[in-house]
Amino acid sequence: MRMRQRNACLTGLCAILVVLLALVISAAPPSVQAQGQGQAQGAAPPPPPAPFLPGQTAGQYYKNVTVLKDIPAADLIPAMQYIRSALGADCEYCHATDRSSDEKEAKKTARMMMSMVLKINADNFKGGNNVECFSCHQGSTNVATAPPVPELGMKPAVLLMAEPKPAEGLPTADQLVSKYMQAIGGNISSLTTRTAKGTVEAGQNKNPYEQTFKAPNKSYIVTHGQQGDAVQGFDGTTVWQQNPRAVQEVVGVAALNPKRLADFYRTLDLKKSYSAFRRVTKDKVGDKDVYMALAQAADGSGNERLYFDANSGLLVRVVQRTPTAFGPNPTQYDFSDYRDAGGVKVPFEVRVAGPNNIAFWHFTDIKFNAPVNDSIFAKPSSPSKAAAN
Ligand code: HEC
Ligand code: HEC
């Protein structure tokens, strides 16, 4: 029952987000997204894993999956990535080299925990995702059972609770949206393409980088890596990745983020992109005062948190979540250095981060309405060119 609900969610509308794709592509050596393994750097690359067949479940694709056997095969690794960050434990904490082996005690405990979590939610929360690994683990393999004692110089929580809160008049979500759209300016509906050039920085690597988008939802993103080009594309139907070794369709929840990114008007026309706003709260991003609006994406991909600069009205942060078999994997975009790109202001600096990844897009040139060749968006039939050495 519970698993059926999860599957409906995972294979259906819930699908879109993971900067991971952008990151996998932009980070280190171009490698098509590893379906089965998080590979050790420096080791000889294993052959690309067999592609998932349509409708294939994790139980059919993998050797030793029991609790998660009914979820789509493509969605097992996103669930593992969630568990890794929820426990702050890398894959090897639970897995031997052969990931199907149960030789590590932690893996057996984790499997038991998975059943426990499914049961807690089924018995108490109508099978929702209310209690997940992170609820108890909070980024650690240890689970705290006692409330923390304040450090020297800090006030105990009970005293902080008693302090009067300043009364604050919060703007409405409508006001935030209007102020933002005024701040970026431009005749948004006349915009149809967006081409951006710059570099992508992830870890030690800084590579030339290009993004091409076409309304309403096509994308073509190239990282010119040391070993060749890594490309991610979306033609409105299929998300794909290409590098010098392989071309591959991206399926399951891993396709969510590339689709969100390709959504041309997502951050340009907030009135269209979000169907409802739940609440507005006051918050901080760095030392900036911001307003956070919880917004429901119009494409059905779930709630997003939009953070608006309290002074300029510009969007400084968007947090999106990709559902997994357990809790969600968050992706956070931080926007800065807004500049005019032909009538409309857009951020030239973007930081894209997940629990385990950070990348920076440094743009030098962003243009709207430059002519774009439509054929680039379709999935290519052969791998990209390796770099000439
Ligand atoms: C906290 C423990 C834990 C961590 C951390 C973890 N896994 Fe798992 N993994 C499991 C368990 C438990 C299963 C089996 C689930 C089941 O039986 O439904 C599993 C199954 C798998 C399988 C299927 C293997 C097969 O053929 O049967 C793969 C592949 C996998 N994990 C990859 C990963 C990767 C990659 C990471 C790191 C991103 C990771 N895991 C992190 C506990 C963990
Ligand atoms: C209701 C709270 C709760 C939830 C939810 C929960 N855990 Fe745990 N987990 C615990 C507690 C408590 C322990 C410590 C048990 C002990 O001390 O023997 C633990 C221990 C573990 C351990 C062993 C850590 C070690 O010492 O090596 C693993 C692995 C683990 N949990 C994985 C998970 C995974 C994966 C999930 C989500 C599917 C999860 N847990 C969800 C409470 C929870």
DSSP reduced 3-state for 144: coil
CA 81, CA 102: separation in Å to the nearest integer?
Answer: 18
| Ligand 1 center to 313 CA (angstroms) | 43
Does the residue 289 lie in any domain? yes
Answer yes or no: are the C-beta atoms of 282 and 289 closer than 8 Å.
yes
Q: Supply the pLDDT for residue 129.
A: 82
Please list every protein residue whose CB sits less than 6 Å from any atom of ligand 1: 36-38, 62-68, 77, 80-81, 83-84, 87, 89, 91, 93-95, 99-100, 106-107, 110-111
Q: Supply the pLDDT for residue 89.
A: 96
Question: pLDDT tens digits, residue range 245-299?
Answer: 999 999 999 999 999 999 999 999 999 999 999 889 999 999 999 999 999 999 9
Which residue is closest in CA terms to ligand 2's atom 2?
136
Atom of ligand 1 nearest to the CA of 36: 29
CB-ligand 2 contact for 109 (6 Å cutoff): yes
Residue 33 reports pLDDT greater than 80: no
Q: Supply the pLDDT for residue 154.
A: 82
Q: Which residue has the higher pLDDT, 9 or 325?
A: 325
Does the residue 272 lie in any domain? yes
Please choose, from the candidates 13, 388, 376, 104, the residue with its C-alpha nearest in 3D space to the C-alpha of residue 213: 376
Q: Supply the pLDDT for residue 167.
A: 61
> Which domain CATH number covers 214?
2.50.20.10
CA 253, CA 336: separation in Å to the nearest integer?
Answer: 28
| Ligand 2 center to 141 CA (angstroms) | 7
Q: How far is CA 194 from CA 16, 271, 345, 369, in A?
A: 21, 20, 12, 6
Q: Residue 32: pLDDT band by 50, 70, 90 thresholds?
A: very low
Mutate to test the pocket of ligand 2, among 2, 109, 120 (most ligand atoms within 8 A of CB): 109
CB-ligand 2 contact for 82 (6 Å cutoff): no
Ligand with smallest separation from the Cα of 75 = 1
**Is the sign of the CA dihedral 256, 270, 354, 115 positive or negative?**
negative
DSSP secondary structure of 87-118: HT--HHHH--SSTT---SHHHHHHHHHHHHHH
Burial class (CB in 10 A: 0-12, 13-18, 19+), 304: buried
Question: pLDDT tens digits, residue range 250-260?
Answer: 999 999 999 99
Mutate to test the pocket of ligand 1, among 94, 109, 113, 141 (most ligand atoms within 8 A of CB): 94
Backbone angles phi, psi at 373, to 5 degrees: -80, 115
CB-ligand 2 contact for 124 (6 Å cutoff): no
Atom of ligand 2 nearest to the CA of 131: 5
Q: Supply the pLDDT for residue 44.
A: 63
Atom of ligand 2 nearest to the CA of 326: 38
| Ligand 1 center to 83 CA (angstroms) | 9
Q: Residue 389: pLDDT band by 50, 70, 90 thresholds?
A: low
Burial class (CB in 10 A: 0-12, 13-18, 19+), 53: exposed
| Ligand 2 center to 149 CA (angstroms) | 23
Please choose, from the candidates 83, 110, 107, 87, the residue with its C-alpha nearest in 3D space to the C-alpha of residue 97: 107
Neighbours of 90 (CB within 10 A): 11
Q: Which amino acid is located at 261 in the chain?
A: L
Q: Residue 21: pLDDT band by 50, 70, 90 thresholds?
A: very low
Does the residue 281 lie in any domain? yes
CB-ligand 2 contact for 143 (6 Å cutoff): yes
Which residue is closest in CA terms to ligand 2's atom 3?
136
The per-residue pLDDT of the chain, averaged, comes to 87
Q: How many domains does the chain have?
A: 1
Does the residue 152 lie in any domain? no
CA 344, CA 184: separation in Å to the nearest integer?
Answer: 5
Does the residue 301 lie in any domain? yes
Q: How far is CA 264 from CA 106, 189, 195, 330, 354, in A?
A: 43, 11, 11, 21, 22
Residue 102 reports pLDDT greater than 90: yes
Per-residue tokens: 41: 């750097």
Per-residue tokens: 145: 């059972």
**Helix, strand, coil shares, percent, the chain, to 5:** 25, 30, 45
User: Which residues are CB-neighbours of 357 under 8 A, at least 6 positions away?
Assistant: 19, 20, 23, 27, 202
Does the residue 164 lie in any domain? no
| Ligand 1 center to 93 CA (angstroms) | 10
CA 82, CA 129: separation in Å to the nearest integer?
Answer: 13
CB-ligand 2 contact for 191 (6 Å cutoff): no
| Beta-strand pair 357-368/193-202 | antiparallel
Least confident of 66-75, 164-173, 199-208, 364-373: 164-173
| Ligand 2 center to 324 CA (angstroms) | 18
| Ligand 1 center to 82 CA (angstroms) | 11
| Mean pLDDT value across residues 364-387 | 93
Q: Supply the pLDDT for residue 155.
A: 78
Least confident of 152-156, 235-239, 242-246, 310-314: 152-156
Please choose, from the candidates 226, 208, 273, 260, the residue with its C-alpha nearest in 3D space to the C-alpha of residue 30: 226
Least confident of 156-165, 213-222, 368-377: 156-165
Does the residue 226 lie in any domain? yes
Atom of ligand 2 nearest to the CA of 145: 12
For residue 227, give its domain range: 173-377
| Ligand 1 center to 132 CA (angstroms) | 16
Find the radius of gyration of the CA atoms of the chain.
22
Least confident of 18-27, 120-129, 328-337: 18-27
Which residue is closest in CA terms to ligand 1's atom 25?
100
Does the residue 71 lie in any domain? no
Q: Which amino acid is located at 144 in the chain?
A: A
Please choose, from the candidates 229, 218, 228, the residue with its C-alpha nearest in 3D space to the C-alpha of residue 374: 218
- Residue the block writes with tokens 């991971």: 20
Q: Supply the pLDDT for residue 18.
A: 33
User: Which residues are CB-neighbours of 51 under 8 A, at least 6 positions away?
Assistant: 35, 248, 249
Residue 80 reports pLDDT greater than 50: yes
Mutate to test the pocket of ligand 1, among 71, 99, 103, 118 (most ligand atoms within 8 A of CB): 99
DSSP state of 226: T
Point out which residues pair with 194 in neighbouring strands: 213, 368
Most confident of 40-49, 163-172, 366-375: 366-375
Neighbours of 180 (CB within 10 A): 20
Q: Supply the pLDDT for residue 385.
A: 78
Residue 218 reports pLDDT greater than 90: yes
